[in-house]
Amino acid sequence: MNNLKKYIAEFIGTFVLVLVACGVAVKSTCATSADVLLTALAFGGVIVAMAYSIGNISGCHINPAVSVAVLINGGMKVKDFIGYVIAQFLGAIAGAAVLGVFLGDFSALGANNVNPGIWQSLLIEVVLTCIFVLAVLGATSKIENSKVAGLVIGGSLALVHMLGIWLTGTSVNPARSFGPALLQGGEALACYWVFLVGPMVGGVLAALLWKFLNCKCKKEAK
């Protein structure tokens, strides 16, 4: 039952992320600096809200890139990782579906784009995701950080969006990108692999960097 509650929490968190944050992105159009700032704050704000509502249930990953980093660092079992990722993808699809109903149009749901070019977009997503996931791992590494972890994580997500929105629309989250891409279809779905591979590679790199930076090397025998 506890595991089921975790999966439901991840579903809800990802649902809210896509519905609200992608909804703000669509309605603002991200055409001006003010629009970009508003959208970045929307993504960060949702993470803060969810961290303090479902964080004590599931840890509020709501992102497969975060979950894979936690898995690599021994914070969860493979079975839970699979359950989290399934819940996150289903939540993103549901969020995109409800957003489409709200807007009365499924042609623009906040899907990402590869306007800078496919390989450049892939690199952007790897780097931005790595930065974000490193912040997540650091903020959640000590129990005394628990009161401010949500703010740090939400702020970090907003930060990477302030740059990434101008480039790829910012994914750093394969589930968040999948829901809108699936329902928009066409080019958005065709280039989705970039926003699956990039963030997952970035999450793995962040986990490995975290393990390296925090390893306690054994003293050499005299």
Could you tell me the residue ranges of all domains in the chain?
2-213
Contact 180, 109 (CB under 8 A): yes
pLDDT at 218 > cutoff 60 = no
> Mean of the per-residue pLDDT values for the chain?
94
Nearest-angstrom CA–CA distance, 173 and 176: 5
Q: What is the mean pLDDT of residues 148-154?
A: 93
Q: What is the mean pLDDT of residues 151-163?
A: 96
Out of 1.20.1080.10, 2.40.10.10, 3.10.20.90, 2.30.30.40, the CATH code matching 2-213 is 1.20.1080.10
pLDDT at 17 > cutoff 70 = yes
Confidence band for 42, pLDDT divided at 50, 70 and 90: very high
Neighbours of 10 (CB within 10 A): 32
Q: What is the mean pLDDT of residues 174-187?
A: 96
pTM comes to 0.93
Nearest-angstrom CA–CA distance, 155 and 176: 18
Model confidence over 94-144: pLDDT tens digits? 999 999 999 999 999 999 999 999 999 999 999 999 999 999 999 998 888
Confidence band for 22, pLDDT divided at 50, 70 and 90: very high
